[in-house]
Amino acid sequence: MLKIKKLYKSFDNNEVLKDINFDVKKGEIVSFIGPSGSGKSTLLRCLIDLEEIDSGSILVEGDSLFDSESKVSKENKKQLLSQMGIVFQSFNLFPHMTVLDNIVVPLVTVDKIDRSVAEKLAADLLKKVDLSEKASAYPRELSGGQKQRVAIARSLAKNPKILLFDEPTSALDPEMVKEVLNVITSLKDLDITMLIVSHEMEFIKKISDRVFFMEDGMILASGSSENIFKEDSNNRISDFLNCLNF
Amino acid sequence: MQDMMIYILKGVGITVRLYSLTALFSLPLGIFMALGQSSGSSILKNLINTYTWIFRGSPLLLQLFFVYYGLPVMGITLGPLTAATLTFVLNYSAYNCEILRGGISGIDKGQYEAAKVLGFGYWQTMFKVILPQSMRTSLPALSNEAIALVKDTALVSVIGIGEILRNSREIVTREFTIVPFILCALVYLALSSIIVITFKYMERRVAI
């Protein structure tokens, strides 16, 4: 589904991603853990074109999304990106739109879907994230957890094949974390390929098919959830997990 | 007293007309220039910067004299009200542009990113996501400009347009009384109050 080869990314002289290589299968749930500044979020941002990569390639279902060796057509890139979505740490809902319009307006504006059809789809998605009663509320009237659930519904509206989660619970109060994690867990049945960056280790352990441990811009270790979270898997991972009291 | 008031109020029509036309044209022009300034084109940015530098950096009265008395020298003769409207639109669009540019630059980067990953193009992002928010955050500053515009309309009396101040001054000169000036002030205060109330209402309605 997703293939990353020899990906490098720097900000000025600071190399934040170094020789990143991995594959993700269709429907697989892959998580990235590691200390802050290890490049996890930058990696997700590179995958969805929010950061430009320096070199390497990203392939989605065999098609080039980025390739430093050859030029990728704008149309091809746009088409591949339309199959991907991201849920941000800070929600990034549109504050001047109601919850319903946050989902409907992109569908009507970008995908040219008839408003009534888009509203029906949005209502179904809000039901899925248990926020039907908030359809006409504005983001300022919602709790952090509710905002993130709307953001998830908005991402799902595009019917993505690949969904990225960039620390979806980091900006939330502890009591709201669970409601968001429950929603993400419920997406497992949708057969969406998910790439998750999070510090919620219990959640990562439970939901992930594979876990990558990143440090200093590199993938230091990868493996099944059970293997990575084993006490003797890797000294550096054990230190990191100990710091999190996990 | 009643006759005085009627004569002064006759000037309100001119003031309101000048005000409405200025607001009607200077806001969209300001929006497009603000979008131009926020775009990637350095030529466009420099052109707009020069424009706002000239119109914000020189007196409105001088600009009015230039358009009304100066342009005829170059063969372009405009009627007093047309010259006044043109000057006000050019001047106020420069201020509106700067206000809205500030509003646009204050929008969180995450809004652009959300729009991008949802597939919005540049203009869709600006018109559906960024401008509606920056218009809201710019409302208090736009309100100040709207009030300043009410008062600035008095400047057109110097090119012979019979607006509120000119009509008041005529009565003062004719009848040796300052009552028309007091009535004139009351009319300006009433107009300003309408603007203030309208903007406060809008600010409440569209608060983010």
- Least Cα separation, residue B111 to chain A (angstroms): 6
CA distances from A102 to A29, A72, A180, A190, B129 (A): 26, 31, 18, 22, 10
- The pLDDT tens digits for B151-206 are 999 999 999 898 899 999 999 999 889 999 999 999 999 999 999 999 999 998 88
- State residue B208's pLDDT score: 73
Q: Which of A12, A4, A66 is nearest to A218 (CA)?
A: A4
Residue A40: give its domain's CATH number: 3.40.50.300
Tell me the pairing of strands A162-166 and A193-197: parallel
Q: Which of A63, A61, A69 is nearest to A7 (CA)?
A: A69
| 3-state SS track over A172-216 | CCHHHHHHHHHHHHHHHHHCCEEEEECCCHHHHHHHCCEEEEEEC
Residue A57 in any domain: the answer is yes
Instruction: Please list, in sequence order, all residues whose beta carbon lies within 8 angstroms of the beta carbon of residue B173, skipping any fewer than 6 positions away.
Output: none
CA distance B199 to B68: 32
- The pLDDT tens digits for A153-209 are 999 999 999 999 999 998 888 888 988 998 898 898 888 999 999 999 889 998 999
Quick check: A94 and B129 CB within 8 A?
Answer: yes
Residue A19, SS3?
Answer: strand
- Least Cα separation, residue B174 to chain A (angstroms): 55
Residue A103 in any domain: the answer is no
By C-alpha distance, the chain A residue nearest B132 is A96
- The pTM of the full predicted model, rounded to 2 decimals, is 0.88
By C-alpha distance, the chain B residue nearest A81 is B117
Quick check: A50 and B128 CB within 8 A?
Answer: no
Instruction: Indicate whether A244 pLDDT > 80.
Output: no
Chain mean position to CA A65: 17
| B 150-179 residues inside an 8 A Cβ radius of A | none
CA distance A31 to A210: 6
- State residue A225's pLDDT score: 87
CA distance B64 to B111: 41
Chain A residues with CB under 8 Å of a chain B CB are 48-50, 78, 81-82, 84-86, 88, 90, 92-96, 105-106, 109-111, 138, 140, 154, 158
Quick check: B111 and A92 CB within 8 A?
Answer: yes
Give buried/exposed letters for B24-61 (b at 16+ CB in 10 A, else e): ebbbebbbebbbbbbeeeeeeeeebeebbeebeeeebe
- State residue A7's pLDDT score: 95
Q: Which of A68, A63, A91, A61 is nearest to A17 (CA)?
A: A68
How would residue A118 be classed by pLDDT, with cut points 50, 70 and 90?
very high
pLDDT cut 90: percent of chain A above it: 72
Residue A200 in any domain: the answer is yes
Is residue A99 within 8 A of residue A138, CB to CB? The reply is: yes
Instruction: Indicate whether A231 pLDDT > 80.
Output: no
Q: Give me the amino acid identity at A195.
A: L
Instruction: Indicate whether A25 pLDDT > 80.
Output: yes
How would residue A71 be classed by pLDDT, with cut points 50, 70 and 90?
confident
Q: With left for phi above 0 and alpha for psi between -120 and 50, is residue B43 left, alpha or beta?
A: alpha
Q: Provide the number of structural domains found in chain B.
A: 1
How would residue B38 be classed by pLDDT, with cut points 50, 70 and 90?
confident
User: What number is the average pLDDT over the span A72-78?
Assistant: 89
- State residue B207's pLDDT score: 79
User: Which structural domain, as residue segments, surrounds residue A10?
Assistant: 2-92+160-243
Of B116, B128, B133, which has the smallest distance from its Cβ to A109's Cβ?
B128
CA distance B154 to B179: 18
Of B108, B124, B206, which has the smallest distance from its Cβ to A109's Cβ?
B124
Tokens of B198: 């309208």
- Chain B contact set for A147 (CB, 8 A): none
Quick check: A84 and B117 CB within 8 A?
Answer: yes
Quick check: B110 and A50 CB within 8 A?
Answer: no
User: Which structural domain, as residue segments, surrounds residue B25?
Assistant: 2-205
Instruction: Indicate whether A136 pLDDT > 80.
Output: yes
Instruction: Please list, in sequence order, all residues whose beta carbon lies within 8 angstroms of the beta carbon of residue A6, skipping any fewer than 6 positions away.
Output: A19, A20, A21, A55, A56, A57
Q: What is the DSSP letter of B26?
A: H
Phi and psi torsions of A118, nearest 5°: -65, -40
Is residue A151 within 8 A of residue A163, CB to CB? The reply is: no
Residue B7: give its domain's CATH number: 1.10.3720.10
CA distances from B98 to A26, A62, A120, B133, B138 (A): 49, 47, 41, 16, 10
